Amino acid sequence: MTDLAIDEAVADRDGGVRRAGVYIAWLQLVFTLGWTTYVIYLPKLAAEVGIAPGAVILILMLDQAIFTITDTVMGVAADKVAAVVGRLGIFVGIVTALSCAAFVAMPFVAGAGPSAQIAFIAIIVVWSATSSALRAPPLTLFGKYGARPSLPFLSALTMLGYGVAGAVSPYLGVVMKDIDARLPFVISSLVLLVTTLSLIAVERSLAHRPAARRPRPPAKQLGRVPVAFIGAMLLLALGYQMHFAVNTAPFFLRFAKPDDLQWLMPVFWIGFNIALFPASIVVKHRGGLMVMGATGLLGAVAVVAAEQAGSLNLMIAAQFVAGAAWGCMLMSAVSAALAIGQTGAEGKLTGLVFSALALATFARMAAVAGGLQKLPDYAPLLHWAPVACWSVAGAGLLVLAASRLRPTVETA
């Protein structure tokens, strides 16, 4: 092939991968909105089968415990399945079909009353385990077919779906509170299934494009970097959970009324979404670890500003910056996982990122279930935990990024 033909083939491949990125962003949006629907209706469905309101948090904790395990398991499985062209989409489609069937069944089984309590819990377990196929496995396509410089942009696209879902979630609770649960469960499952089955065509389209099979480095041991990376990711996720899920609403309530929260809480996600694509440019040139570390420190400063804010306008500004910082952290983490894992372990590393997010969510739910935020001795700890988590993780990631750059500088 001539140089011009090679350039055209690579451009065609990269264009196809970007279109796949838009598709996977939509997939993440639909899946996250389905999760929001589940959380909105779970108390009502649980009550129908005789589960006490206080036990609903335990069900949600069970979900996160399952995600912590299955996100990594699904990522490892995706690495193995993706070695065969066209198999990843089929794998995700089959598992998602089972997940959607369990999701649709929830409100119908709950309608049977207390006699269906065990079946209801069993269906939730099946849905939780199988829904992990929608997180790390689709992202494996980016690591397999995307050129390394395009990974930050693709990661930003994916996280945009997640961020948009976070922004509209407060409104869903208001809109759907009087709607029969069966309708949104069926509709969201059908949309998700159709979207997921399209992954088969997306994968085959990428595989048959010229230059789709870019050279891959030989498989090797990942070393200590992923361990430090995932440890830092866990701290960052804990900081996000404690700040947004525990502290943000009380912060706003210092200056606003409870009815205003549905308009104020999305400020965090607006910052999240706006920062994604500018940050992806920085990640392309400086690396995901460096941006994760720097924005971790920026997020810690924003949380301190929220703690000290003396007016609603200052609070809104601090929350916007905190959301922008979290968006940069999460997008950079996905990009770094795909880049570090480009030895055939893209799914494994990405799965570990999502497992860290689930484990952090579990820890936050456990703290809330235990009433720690109401205890005078622990309330200050929860308030300053995000600052500590983001500061320590941010500093550690900057050191890790510098250590990875040093051999390159010495070689040059």
**Residues 307, 216 share a domain:** no
Q: How would you classify residue 146: left for phi > 0, otherwise alpha for psi between -120 and 50, otherwise beta?
A: beta
Q: How far apart (Å, rounded) are the C-alpha atoms in residues 26 and 227?
A: 30
CA atoms lying within 13 Å on the CB side of residue 265: 25
Structure tokens at 215: 């050279």
**Residues 158, 186 share a domain:** yes
Tens of pLDDT, residue by residue over 267-293, are: 999 999 999 999 999 998 888 899 999
Q: Indicate if the pLDDT at residue 15 is higher than 60.
A: no
**Residues 169, 245 share a domain:** no
220, 339 Cβ separation under 8 angstroms = no
Mean of pLDDT values over 21-36 = 86
Structure tokens at 401: 């990024």
Mean of pLDDT values over 49-77 = 93
Tell me whether residue 362 is in a domain: no
Tell me whether residue 279 is in a domain: yes
**Residues 164, 104 share a domain:** yes
Mean of pLDDT values over 311-325 = 96
Dihedrals φ, ψ of 83, to 5°?
-65, -20
378, 372 Cβ separation under 8 angstroms = yes
348, 230 Cβ separation under 8 angstroms = no
Is the dihedral angle over the CA atoms 189, 190, 192, 197 positive or is it negative?
A: positive
Q: How far apart (Å, rounded) are the C-alpha atoms in residues 236 and 234?
A: 5
Share of the chain above pLDDT 70, in %: 88
Tell me whether residue 347 is in a domain: no
- 36/19: higher pLDDT: 36
**Residues 155, 11 share a domain:** yes
For 245, other C-beta atoms within 10 Å of its C-beta total: 15
Where does the pLDDT of residue 16 fall: very low under 50, low under 70, confident under 90, or very high at 90 and above? low
- The set of residues, in sequence order, having a beta carbon less than 8 Å from that of 27 and lying 6+ positions away, is 134, 138, 161, 192, 195, 196, 199
* pLDDT score, position 86: 63
Structure tokens at 183: 């309708």
Tell me whether residue 345 is in a domain: no
Tell me whether residue 42 is in a domain: yes
347, 137 Cβ separation under 8 angstroms = yes
Q: Which DSSP letter does residue 115 get?
A: G
Dihedrals φ, ψ of 108, to 5°?
-70, -40
Mean of pLDDT values over 81-102 = 83
CATH number at residue 133: 1.20.1250.20
* pLDDT score, position 7: 39
- The set of residues, in sequence order, having a beta carbon less than 8 Å from that of 4 and lying 6+ positions away, is none
Number of domains in the chain: 2
Tens of pLDDT, residue by residue over 39-52, are: 999 999 999 999 99
* pLDDT score, position 223: 61
Chosen domain end from 189, 221, 253:
221
Helix (H, G, I), strand (E, B) or coil at 375: coil
For 282, other C-beta atoms within 10 Å of its C-beta total: 17
Structure tokens at 294: 């720097």
Tens of pLDDT, residue by residue over 248-257, are: 999 999 999 9
Tell me whether residue 117 is in a domain: yes
Tell me whether residue 183 is in a domain: yes
Q: How far apart (Å, rounded) are the C-alpha atoms in residues 316 and 299?
A: 14
**Residues 260, 196 share a domain:** no
**Residues 97, 20 share a domain:** yes
Output the CA angle 49-171-265, nearest 5 degrees. 110
131, 74 Cβ separation under 8 angstroms = no
Chosen domain end from 221, 248, 270:
221
Q: Is 223 exposed, middle or buried (0-12, 13-18, 19+ CB in 10 A)?
A: exposed
Q: For residue 213, what are the domain limits?
A: 1-221
**Residues 401, 278 share a domain:** yes
Q: Indicate if the pLDDT at residue 154 is higher than 80.
A: yes
390, 239 Cβ separation under 8 angstroms = yes
- 223/373: higher pLDDT: 373
* pLDDT score, position 23: 81
Tens of pLDDT, residue by residue over 345-401, are: 888 899 999 999 999 999 999 988 888 777 777 777 878 899 999 999 999 999 988
Mean of pLDDT values over 79-99 = 82
Mean pLDDT (the chain, rounded): 85
**Residues 76, 99 share a domain:** yes
DSSP 206-265: HHTSTT-S---PPP----SHHHHHHHHHHHHHHHHIIIIIIIIHHHHHTTS-GGGHHHHT
**Residues 22, 125 share a domain:** yes
**Residues 263, 234 share a domain:** yes
Range from 22-36, 120-134, 198-212 that averages highest in pLDDT:
120-134
Q: How far apart (Å, rounded) are the C-alpha atoms in residues 388 and 281?
A: 28
Q: Indicate if the pLDDT at residue 125 is higher than 80.
A: yes
**Residues 408, 312 share a domain:** yes
Least confident of 13-22, 226-235, 344-353: 13-22
Is the dihedral angle over the CA atoms 82, 85, 88, 91 positive or is it negative?
A: negative
Q: Indicate if the pLDDT at residue 137 is higher than 60.
A: yes
Tell me whether residue 354 is in a domain: no
| Nearest Cα residue to 152 out of 337, 16, 26, 322 | 337
Q: How would you classify residue 283: left for phi > 0, otherwise alpha for psi between -120 and 50, otherwise beta?
A: alpha
Tens of pLDDT, residue by residue over 171-220, are: 887 787 778 889 999 999 999 888 888 877 777 777 665 444 444 444 44
